[in-house]
């Protein structure tokens, strides 16, 4: 992939896409998903373990949040919440980058995360970091697959008295959920669409599958682009 300035997608998205590909976080080929579908691409946010890659994803999350400020629905929140385990680093890194990019507004932004198991000694409890009670919470995580983990996070936050105002993930696959009867020709919503509908909150992403395809045009393999477009046509969600 060449220069990060792309006519198809905003520069911050192109920068993130380039970092993800160069760092081996976004791979192209043939991958079996949990749903048993064979995907022509695979994204693993757990591979952002190198300092330059962590900086790239934190910057992309922060710029996605800042982009909403010029929209009709800006994100207003008090705390970034990272579900254990991947979300812990993502939320803390994003808080740091927001404070750097927009210190007047985010210089003292807080973050929190949950424990997988409640601590029964010391300060105890399920939450580490800023107290959630009465605060507006933005969940920061890698992807939404079936939505189970995000529902668990929302439940934990609400039990602590927090108000979930949105979810921000790295990638929206724009992919429909598997049909209960296994018929993948049926129109089905995406996991992200189901969460939006169920909780009435925005679910935003740094990249979508459309962004990946647009960012690769003129730079990536024509074969990879063709396979991505075919996959999108076959599994595109109805929402």
Q: Is 2 within the bounds of a domain? A: no
Do the domain assignments include residue 5?
Answer: no
87/84 Cα distance (integer angstroms) = 6
List 105, 108, 119, 234, catalytic entry: 119
The boundaries of the domain holding residue 167 are 11-235
Q: Is residue 42 part of a domain?
A: yes
Helices and strands in the chain, H and E counts: 8, 8
What contacts 234, CB < 8 A, 6 or more positions away?
Answer: 184
Under a CB-based contact definition with an 8 Å cutoff, are residues 146 and 192 in contact?
Answer: no
Based on the structure, what is the number of domains in the chain? 1
Domain containing 96 — which CATH number? Answer: 3.40.50.2020
**Domain-located, residue 23:** yes
Q: Is residue 6 part of a domain?
A: no
Residue 63 maps to a domain: yes
What is the value of pTM for the model shown? 0.90
**Quick check: 88 and 82 in contact, CB under 8 A?**
yes
Would you say how long the chain is, in residues? 239
Cβ neighbours of 90 (radius 10 Å): 27
Does some domain include residue 186? yes
43, part of any domain? yes
Buried b (16+ CB within 10 A) or exposed e, 35-53: eeeebbbebebeebeeeeb
Catalytic residue among 34, 108, 116, 121: 121
Annotated catalytic residue 121: yes
pLDDT tens over the chain, length 239 residues: 444 433 468 999 999 999 999 999 999 999 998 888 999 999 998 899 999 999 999 999 999 999 998 888 889 999 999 999 899 999 999 999 999 999 999 999 999 999 877 655 555 578 999 999 999 999 999 988 878 889 999 999 999 999 999 999 999 999 999 888 878 788 899 999 999 999 999 999 999 999 999 999 877 789 999 999 999 999 999 87
């Amino acid at each position: 992939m060449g220069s990060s300035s792309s006519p198809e997608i905003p520069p911050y998205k192109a920068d993130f896409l380039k970092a993800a590909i160069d760092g081996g976080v976004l791979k192209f080929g043939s991958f079996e998903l949990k749903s048993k579908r064979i995907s022509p691409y695979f994204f693993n946010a757990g591979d952002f373990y190198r300092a330059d890659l962590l900086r790239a994803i934190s910057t992309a999350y922060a710029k996605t949040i800042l982009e909403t400020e010029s929209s009709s629905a800006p994100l207003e929140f008090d705390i970034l919440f990272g579900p254990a385990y991947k979300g812990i680093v993502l939320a803390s890194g994003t808080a740091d980058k927001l404070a750097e990019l927009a210190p007047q507004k985010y210089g003292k932004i807080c973050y929190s995360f949950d424990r997988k198991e409640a601590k029964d000694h010391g300060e105890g409890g399920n939450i580490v970091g800023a107290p959630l009670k009465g605060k507006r919470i933005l969940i920061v995580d890698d992807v939404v697959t079936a939505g189970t983990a995000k529902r668990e996070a929302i439940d934990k936050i609400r039990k602590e008295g927090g108000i979930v105002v949105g979810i921000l993930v790295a990638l929206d696959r724009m992919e429909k959920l598997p049909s209960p009867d296994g018929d993948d020709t049926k129109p089905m919503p995406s996991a992200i669409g189901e969460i939006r509908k169920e909780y009435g909150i925005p679910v935003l992403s740094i990249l979508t599958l459309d962004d990946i395809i647009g960012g690769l045009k003129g730079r990536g393999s024509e074969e990879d682009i063709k396979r991505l477009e075919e996959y999108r046509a076959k599994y595109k969600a109805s929402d």
